[in-house]
Chain A
């Protein structure tokens, strides 16, 4: 330890990092998703001439500009906390990923400059709309690149590559085994997360507003947000499977911990949140089809059937494999791991559940988009449909927090020891393991 081992009283230093990073991610993911959704909405407004798209894009852009301060402040505080509380770990990360962090910093700078410019020249470029839309997409692109850089670091911490030369240090560390699937998972997740939050916000405003034109607008906004949220959510099982497959192949002990071992309850929690999101979204779609401008009773009946299948498949996902539910707090029934629960095993039931959920989800979205083509009567949605939207916003935040905890706890395995960088730096910052790329590299030792 270079100077001293600082700690934070009561909550401990691990919690400090967890709180700062998780909160930062909740803002950062929203900002990246929201910028791209707003830019797409502005483009749709330009093409269709429907005023809702333009109003939505501009309001969302303003909110993102203001929210940037919170997201950025949390990022700086988090780096400060890491340097102070985990100096050995952070210096190793900086040593391996210097260029990656540098590129990330410039991508962040590019994003913030373009987002501010995008919002500020909204009126100035009113007659050059195509150019203005490009501003939004470029800002989104910078955000995605910044995310890609930090994903390389985060995935490396769980599945570090074996490094034997200076060239490996950059290339193999950057493109470690789970970097691409993690990046895909987060890319899709940004849209879904931002979409659900937008829908929840619209639901809240719909219930609060008293003006008829605002009710129509917020009703439309809830529909638009939920389409983004749910359409991207149903892509996640297959991408998430790819990510877990990468973890299983390169870090089987972590996979066993979070999927089969003592921490498998985190995945039960996760599918519980996804069950609520899926059922609430499908129920909203079923409800909304009643207000189609061109009545589509057949489509509506089909979507009611789809709602039943969604409920069936999500229940299949929720059933735990055995009675060893949450051993950490003593929530164990019967003989614990030896008491198998019917329909709870991964194969075939969870696969049936996840694949079924995706197929039914695509089916429902296709039906709903078909009805949307002719439009809806806005402003007539029921109270409970808006509560469904708000519950989606709440449970998507729970999903993000649960997934963040899952990935970080996967490196603890049996806590003997737990790692900050898997097989390399332990939780108490001891450097261990032959695979750790911190030893002087062959041929690279100072002459």
Chain B
């Protein structure tokens, strides 16, 4: 567990794909889609009553 925490906290992974690199790749993708859908959904919600 401590090893995992250290791994997650390590500064910018620039090495050839490591576990942390792959994790960050998918974390970024999930965050992008989440933000995008949330903002679009919110904009639709505030506009639909007109």
Contacts and interface: CB of A to CB of B under 8 A. Distances in A.
A418 interface: yes
Contact of B16 (A7, A67, A397, A415): A415
Interface string A389-415: 000000001000100000000001011
Contacts of A329: 17, 22
Contacts of A414: 16
Nearest to B45: A66
Interface stretch (A13-21, A121-129, A185-193): A13-21
A5 B12 CA distance: 11
A98 interface: no
Interface stretch (A22-30, A148-156, A290-298): A22-30
A11 interface: yes
Interface residues of A, number: 33
A7 B11 contact: yes
Contact of B47 (A5, A62, A401): A62
A66 B46 contact: yes
B27 interface: yes
Q: Report whether over half of chain A's contact residues are helix, strand or loop; otherwise say mixed.
A: helix
B1 interface: no
Contacts of B8: 9-10
Nearest to A11: B27
A338 interface: no
B12 to A, nearest CB: 5
A417 B14 contact: yes
A99 interface: no
Contacts of A26: 32, 36
6 contacts: A7-B12, A10-B8, A12-B11, A19-B31, A19-B32, A62-B47
Interface of A: 5, 7, 9-15, 18-19, 22-23, 26-27, 62-63, 66-67, 70, 74, 262, 328-329, 397, 401, 412, 414-415, 417-418, 427-428
In the A-B complex, the 6 residue pairs with the closest CB atoms: A328-B17, A70-B39, A19-B31, A15-B28, A23-B35, A18-B28
